[in-house]
Structure 1
Amino acid sequence: MTGRVVVAGGTGRLGTLVVLGLAARGTEVCVLTRDPHRAVHLAADHVEVVTCDVRDRTSTTAAVAGAGVVVSAVQGLAGPGDGSPSTVDRDGNMHLIQAARAAGARVVLMSVAGAAPDSPFELFRMKYAAETYLAASGVPATIVRATAFLELWIDLLAGTAGRSSRPLVFGRGRNPINFLSVRDVAALVERVVTEQEPHGGTLEIGGPDTLTLTDLARMVAASRGGSREPRHVPRPALHVMAATVGQLRPGLGRQTRAALAMDRYDLTFRDRPNARDTFTSLPCTSVTELLHAAGPAGEQISVAG
């Protein structure tokens, strides 16, 4: 591997682990972020922080100049600011790919398992658009498709539990979902970035646990000393929320529509090639392990926002 590694989205859950893991190896890492204050936890040897909004093509091209590898861990569904899947996951990634081509760098693009042009999830459609653009760009690349991040959902459910220790589930919560620890994904991305012979193509990775949100909520409640059933927001209420306040607050509207889709569509990881078959030493972190690490007080287990 030659040249520095540029990580866009390096202040988030996945990006933080990738940045710190690479820096610990002595790799020079440049973190792109709209707000340098969000990168305070990344202060370490071999880490440089550059202010950059991937939605702006000019500044992105300048920030990526001299890179050997560009890792895109950006997401616009629920991140800070006014981004969206179309402006961040599609357009922002296109700008990163264009910048990588100009720099002669290869790209590691974080995507989602199930990305497709006709997906009911806007995020999945925009990730697929970025994948398609990357494939046509001629830039050497590896796409990493991951299932639902376990730490995110544990933190969300724990955050809604309150004094009752009853997490709040949007919808029926009966749809099976494959959950994956961000730690496992970071280990895969780090391997892809540093390996002497880049893998290329598309790697899909899933976790050891397939659960409903209700199942996960029960486990979160039990880990905090609770034993009662989680609370639920009925689907009709979610439809009303999306059609009313969701129009005034687009971010909330996107999240509400995503919750409705999560309650219905296939989010399992059955009969699909798993990157673990190629990278056999990857960690395989379970829900039980993460909840045990959080402890009975239910501390947040995420490393960043």
Structure 2
Amino acid sequence: MSTILVTGGTGTLGSQVVTRLRDAGHEVRVLSRHSADHPVDLRNGAGLDAAMAGAEVVVHCASSPRGGDDTAAGHLIEAARRAGVGHLVYISIVGVDQVPYSYYQVKHKVERMVEESGLGWTVLRTTQFHDLVHGYFRAMTKLPVLLVPAGTRDQPISVDEVAERLAALAAAPPAGRVPDMGGPQSRDMTDLARAYLRGTGRRRPVLPVRLPGKAAAAFRRGAHLTPAHAVGTATFEEFLSARGAFPTP
């Protein structure tokens, strides 16, 4: 079994990847600024060399919409080279090369950094997690009207299914850019919003709002969707049921 280092290993996706890798018998190191065993700050690279020593695979799940992903990736790649790591696995997002949204653009930059790193690499792009869609609607229901982007569809996927795939990729040889993973259904955001309201027993008018800008236009075109790779199986309603919203059939 391999020694695998996971960045973002306490997050929504990373924690589930860690669990699956450990269940498979791998030695897993979880990187965190507050870790007692492997304290690491990806923003400046502090602690990376010690944490990386002897690692064979790195799974890079850490990410921040506030920025700095490219800086963090640079430190991680340099440390992986020094340590002789054989495989770097990176989780990305469908549409990062098509949607001119700053967070996506940085994710795409990191993809290119991984590809040009000289390391063995694997990149998996997925659509948005159910958790992200749920979090957006939960935040919007603080208002008297639930606002959604007009003319926009989403294809949410289960984080469990992504974690399963990512753990399998980490245990396999480098594969380059692998096929995208999308959720089972591409649905209008208005439809998803109403499903959320039904599932949580809340009542709000749903108001589609046409957003300005090139990024919003790209989302309306569906640049973040992957209908040809609708490999996920869990629907948004099933996600809500698992959270105790809908009654389980």
Does the C-alpha gap of structure 1 residues 228 and 137 become closer, same or farther in structure 2, counting only changes over 3 Å? Answer: closer
Q: Among 168, 191, 195, which residue is 1:215 paired with?
A: 191
TM-score, with structure 2 as normaliser? 0.85
- Deviation string 1:251-287 (CA, Å, 9 cap, x unpaired) is xxxxxx97x467534222134xx495xxxxxx62211
Q: Corresponding residue for 2:227?
A: 270
| Paired-residue identity, % | 31
Q: Corresponding residue for 1:186?
A: 163
- Counterpart-to-counterpart distance in 1, 2:24 and 2:115: 30
Report the CA distance between 1:228 and its aligned residue.
4.5
Report the CA distance between 1:11 and its aligned residue.
1.3
- Counterpart-to-counterpart distance in 2, 1:265 and 1:35: 41
- Counterpart-to-counterpart distance in 1, 2:230 and 2:155: 15
Q: Corresponding residue for 2:50?
A: 62
TM-score, with structure 1 as normaliser? 0.71
Question: Given that residues 146 and 205 in structure 2 are in contact (C-alpha distance below 8 angstroms), is that contact kept between their aligned partners in structure 1?
Answer: no
- RMSD value, Cα: 2.8
- 1:153 and 2:152 equivalent? no
SS at match of 1:157: helix
Structure 2 unaligned residues grouped into runs of 5+: none
SS at match of 1:71: strand
Does the C-alpha gap of structure 1 residues 99 and 93 become closer, same or farther in structure 2, counting only changes over 3 Å? Answer: same
Letter in 2 for 1:102: R
- Deviation string 1:28-52 (CA, Å, 9 cap, x unpaired) is 111111244xxxxxxxxxxx75221
Does the C-alpha gap of structure 1 residues 183 and 52 become closer, same or farther in structure 2, counting only changes over 3 Å? Answer: same
- Deviation string 1:89-121 (CA, Å, 9 cap, x unpaired) is x121122122222222211111111222x6311
- Counterpart-to-counterpart distance in 1, 2:243 and 2:20: 21
- 1:122 and 2:99 equivalent? no
- Counterpart-to-counterpart distance in 2, 1:30 and 1:232: 44
- Counterpart-to-counterpart distance in 1, 2:217 and 2:164: 29
Does the C-alpha gap of structure 1 residues 121 and 49 become closer, same or farther in structure 2, counting only changes over 3 Å? Answer: farther
- Counterpart-to-counterpart distance in 1, 2:210 and 2:95: 25
Q: Among 216, 240, 244, which residue is 1:291 paired with?
A: 240
Question: Given that residues 146 and 204 in structure 2 are in contact (C-alpha distance below 8 angstroms), is that contact kept between their aligned partners in structure 1?
Answer: no
Question: Given that residues 148 and 190 in structure 2 are in contact (C-alpha distance below 8 angstroms), is that contact kept between their aligned partners in structure 1?
Answer: no
SS at match of 1:29: strand
Does the C-alpha gap of structure 1 residues 49 and 17 become closer, same or farther in structure 2, counting only changes over 3 Å? Answer: farther
| 1:23-42 correspondence to structure 2 within 5 Å | 23-36=22-35
| 1:208-287 correspondence to structure 2 within 5 Å | 208-226=184-202, 228-231=204-207, 235=211, 260=216, 264-266=220-222, 267-271=224-228, 274=229, 276=231, 284-287=233-236
Does the C-alpha gap of structure 1 residues 115 and 234 become closer, same or farther in structure 2, counting only changes over 3 Å? Answer: closer
Does the C-alpha gap of structure 1 residues 115 and 296 become closer, same or farther in structure 2, counting only changes over 3 Å? Answer: closer
Report the CA distance between 1:170 and its aligned residue.
4.7
Q: Corresponding residue for 2:84?
A: 104
Does the C-alpha gap of structure 1 residues 230 and 34 become closer, same or farther in structure 2, counting only changes over 3 Å? Answer: farther
SS at match of 1:296: coil
Question: Given that residues 175 and 262 in structure 1 are in contact (C-alpha distance below 8 angstroms), is that contact kept between their aligned partners in structure 2?
Answer: no
Question: Given that residues 7 and 72 in structure 1 are in contact (C-alpha distance below 8 angstroms), is that contact kept between their aligned partners in structure 2?
Answer: yes
SS at match of 2:125: strand
Total equivalences in the alignment? 244
- Deviation string 1:125-151 (CA, Å, 9 cap, x unpaired) is 112211212222220111111111111
Does the C-alpha gap of structure 1 residues 292 and 275 become closer, same or farther in structure 2, counting only changes over 3 Å? Answer: closer
Letter in 2 for 1:143: V
Structure 1 unaligned residues grouped into runs of 5+: 37-47, 78-83, 240-256, 277-282, 299-305
Letter in 1 for 2:131: E
Does the C-alpha gap of structure 1 residues 275 and 67 become closer, same or farther in structure 2, counting only changes over 3 Å? Answer: farther
Letter in 1 for 2:170: V
Q: Corresponding residue for 1:244?
A: none
- Deviation string 1:15-72 (CA, Å, 9 cap, x unpaired) is 0100112122232111111244xxxxxxxxxxx7522111213432332222111000
Q: Which shows bigger deviation, 21-30 or 223-232?
A: 223-232
Q: Corresponding residue for 1:18?
A: 17
